[in-house]
Structure 1
Amino acid sequence: MYAIGISKNRDEVLIAAENLKKEGIKVELVEDPEILIDGLLNKRYEGAVRGSLSSSKLIPILRKKIGKFYRASILKNPFNNEIFILAPVGIDEISESPEIRFNEKLQIIKYSSEFLKSMEMIPKVGILSAGRLSDVGRSKKIDDSIMDAEKLLKYVKSSKYKDLEIEHKGILVEEYLKEGCNIILADDGISGNLLFRSFALVCDMEGFGAIILNSENIKYIDTSRSGSWKRYYNAVKFLKEGF
């Protein structure tokens, strides 16, 4: 049985649940975020989807139970019709400290790569920064972002991940997608969240919600309260067939 959180935007969750039940997939609708997370961790549910529950209520509970994690949206690339990971998409998931942020981005690359490999996909990473590489000198913020990305790129290429296919082309997210990059590393959680909303909620790019990246590897998918029924439906199907 799978759990879907339900609060506001109930109609879309109900439509998703009805369509899943028609396919023989057992779904339980849960209004209490504590019950949803406890049920997932205690194996009452095979997997759980946030549905329309509030992120500000559910995410602190999940962090308390499993520790630090990053959310990574799973979207379908319109150029090759294959899935890709966009992370981080939680607005508060990347530190403002350069040293901590560097290590957090390494963790995202590590967990994202392991996830794709578990799906028999070869990871290809595109690092985003705040401008084109030729934009150095236009502002300190842009310079710092580009230099941080270059530092990360250099480190990965000289570390135990040196065989990982990875590149940095600045702000050119469209080029990464055209080239088939399946991990898009956003500059921070705010820009990642804006990209997700632009892709999924404005341009209607097909998506499956956001997986949790950490060592626990739990079968949970985070979904936007602004999502349509198809996104909740896709999230459960991904838990059932994609993991």
Structure 2
Amino acid sequence: MYLIGIDYNSSNSKEVLKAYKKLLSEGIDVRLVEDSKELIDSVLRGDVLGGIRGNLSSSEVIPYLRKHIGRFYRASILRNPFSGEYFLLTPVGIDEIEEDNSFRDKITIIEYILEFLKDSNLFKDVKIGVLSGGRLSDYGRSKRVDRLIEEAVGVVDYIGRKYNVHIEHKGIVLEEYLKEGFNVILAPDGISGNLIFRSLALVCGVEGCGALVLSRRRIRFIDTSRSGSWDRYYNSVKFLKNLVNDKK
């Protein structure tokens, strides 16, 4: 059994190959797979200990993954620019929050993250920050802002009553959550989460490890952006390798 599989498109593989060669030089067992279905099947069968979507299109990978594990969400793993520690930003898939099921989707995402964190040593203490559409003092400025604030308050109340976990809603102020060491950031929806990820990672260069796939079925799979540089593929493999080691 090899450790981690990465899918890649050989015609556009410069960054993936650079990461692959560096990983091999460090003795990390990695295999390149040109067929995304082959990679996902091998992860689901347990033939590999983890999988990475490299530079293949998400339109090839995501529908096939969804067919086999059902509805899932993604949480980007990023370095907090203030503390240097990892935090999770979720959701980051543009279609991962359904407008008519937004509250339930957010509860499910948090529950999946809490399940994942129970089996890992990623965070010593979990601090969840729920973003909404404005500062608390902005309530009343628009129906959409009001709805997002009300929903965030409801999410905090529900999770706070059901789980013994630190969770807060401070409004839209992402910078305050990060300065205070919150390590799970729940965006208002997948589009805003994706924009936050792109702003931090692809514009400002914040270090990241791809995005964890979170679902009812436990699967070690990380989704990366085709716009990323070689070090994001490298970091994703190292992150998965550490998860595997944590379980031993």
Task: Give the TM-score normalised by the residue count of structure 2.
Answer: 0.93
Which letter maps to 1:4?
I
Distance 2:208 2:118 in 1: 19
Equivalent residue for 1:200? 201
Structure 1 match to 2:216 = 215
Counterpart Cα distance in 1 of 2:105 and 2:214:
11
Task: Report the RMSD for the aligned CA atoms in angstroms.
Answer: 1.2
| Runs of 4 or more consecutive aligned structure 1 residues displaced over 6 Å after TM superposition | none
The reply on whether 1:125 has 2:128 as its aligned counterpart is yes
Output the amino acid matched with 1:214. S
Shift of 1:30: 1.4
Compute the displacement of 1:22 (Å). Answer: 0.4
Q: CA deviation at 1:26?
A: 2.0
Q: Percent identity?
A: 57
1:63-102 mapped onto 2 (5 Å cutoff): 63-97=66-100, 100-102=101-103
Gap regions ≥5 residues in structure 2? none
What secondary structure does 2:15 align onto?
A: helix
Secondary structure of 2:99's aligned partner: coil
Moved more, 11-20 or 101-110: 101-110
- Aligned partner of residue 94 in structure 1, secondary structure: coil
CA contact (8 A) 1:85 1:112 kept: no
Instruction: Tell me the residue number matched to 2:192.
Output: 191
| 2:32 is equivalent to residue 29 of structure 1 | yes
Q: CA deviation at 1:196?
A: 0.5
1:1-243 superposed matches below 5 A: 1=2, 2-7=4-9, 9-97=12-100, 100-120=101-121, 121=123, 122-158=125-161, 160-161=162-163, 163-243=164-244
Whether the 8 Å contact between 1:117 and 1:123 is mirrored in structure 2 is: no
Query: Which region of structure 1 is more displaced relative to structure 2, 115-124 or 49-58?
Result: 115-124
SS in 2 for 1:166: strand
What secondary structure, in the 3-state scheme, does the structure 2 residue paired with 1:205 have? coil
**Cα separation, 2, equivalents of 1:118 and 1:234:** 20
Residue ranges of structure 1 left out of the alignment (5+ in a row):
none
Q: 1:48 to 1:143 in 2, by over 3 A?
A: same
**Shift in Å at residue 236 of structure 1?**
0.6
In the alignment, residue 199 of structure 1 is paired with which amino acid? L
Q: Distance in 1 between matches of 2:5 and 2:96?
A: 25
CA distance in 2, matches of 1:68, 1:111: 12
Residue 28 of structure 1 aligns to a residue in which SS?
strand
- Normalised by the length of structure 1, the TM-score is 0.95
